A and B are shown apart, each in its own frame.
Chain A
Amino acid sequence: MAQILVVDDSSTVRDEVATFLRGGGLDVVTAVDGRDGLAKLKADPSIKLVVADVNMPNMDGLTMVEKIRGELRNTSVNLIMLTTESSPNMKERGKAAGVKGWIVKPFKGPAVLETFKKLAS
């Protein structure tokens, strides 16, 4: 049973983020795009935190987030976007969909580990 779901189409990013978080004592699963992320979240209700990219094929991260809150009716999981995007409009869309936080890549693990632990507990 995982605590964190990392969603990114780049295996480099999935590997980097998941490895770091596991090193910090967290249980992590990964998904390759928004569609896969939805499926993984649906299959494992123990996930407390989703860390997701925005620009992904098949289903982008913000659409996934909107479906988590909408179709899956999951209002409890915490959502953090990890993305190259920094536009205010995009952040507003994320906020409206219930995203809790935003990180513009690159990922700096030590800066966020404690917060991620709290959000995943």
Chain B
Amino acid sequence: MNDTPISKVLVLEDNATCANLVKHFCEENNLVAVKVGKRPLMSVLRTNIDLGGIFVSERYGGSERDAARIAAEIHAARPELPIFLRREAGATLADLPEELKHVFCCAYTANDLGALRKAIREHIFCLVYPNALVRGISELTDSVLKRQFPDLTIAMDAPYIVGDRMIFGELFSLIQLESDWCRGYMMLQSEEDPLLDFIARTRASRTTPSFRGVNDLLGETTNLIWGAFKNRYIGDRRANALRQPVQVPLLVNHKHKYVSFGTDNPQLCFRFTLTDTETGDSLTLYERFVFNLDWSPDEFHEIAQDPSGASDAGELELF
């Protein structure tokens, strides 16, 4: 598994040569290009709710006016996503109309991708996640999911960075992460029906599945992942007692399936697909780490496990 997070970018490019250039740039810079193809653009946006940014060329759609209109629509619908503009004449936004300047985060040309590279680092990969952390989260989550969802095969996408604030599915759990090197939240998002089906298949003899059972399953899964994360990366280290721990409001808009943590920081995301190989049914879990209150990766380290009194998970350690 690659420990370096990638990010998905929607590429809106009509010029075949430049499209190829962008494709190679993406491959070299940990980006995965998502193309529109023949589908309507807004339909593609609705089905891709975990993007890191948008690449658009200044004549996409046929003319500069078309490209400007499209970019403005995207920006209105998804203002958290940075939009990178490829221009023909020069890598500048200065000559754009005022109403368009705020739509784009940078301009670049095909002849000089330096500006684009810098902008990607600033707007998508602006938070550095230690490889050991990314790898560790994948491992401990996989271990918990195997336990919570026995008899399902678990596939994990490469970890990735998300700028979007859209909520996947109908339910999500939130739990705080507090230490002296990070403060924020872990979030699990999923859909209700596949979880209900899972409960019905595996616990049918004991409980009639309901949304409360789904809540409980997701809640306990969250608890186990959080516990494993704490044991491995936080231990007894707490947020710096000298600082007043600050808080910011979290905002959930159910109508627009939107959740805000009060920051523009991108989020570290892991996507798991759990499949019943007999029936082919699957469920998707998104796991997001949002370090909205503090992020100090230089202070990150793994907790050394104490070999003297250690017991494996599930074993009774008698005092």
Contacts and interface: CB of A to CB of B under 8 A. Distances in A.
Given A101-B318, A102-B317, A10 B223 contact: yes
Given A15-B207, A19-B206, A83-B227, A88 B315 contact: no
A43 interface: no
Contact of A100 (B207, B311, B319): B319
Contacts of A85: 227, 230-231
Interface string A84-118: 11111111001100011111111110011001000
B316 A112 contact: yes
A80 interface: yes
A88 B309 contact: yes
A86 B231 contact: yes
B26 to A, nearest CB: 39
Interface in B283-319: 306, 309, 311-319
B319 A106 contact: no
Given A111-B314, A112-B316, A105 B306 contact: no
A76 interface: no
B147 A91 contact: no
Given A10-B216, A11-B216, A12-B217, A84 B224 contact: yes
Interface of B: 147, 206-207, 212-213, 216-217, 219-220, 223-224, 226-228, 230-231, 235-236, 306, 309, 311-319
Interface of A: 10-13, 15, 19, 55, 80, 83-91, 94-95, 99-108, 111-112, 115
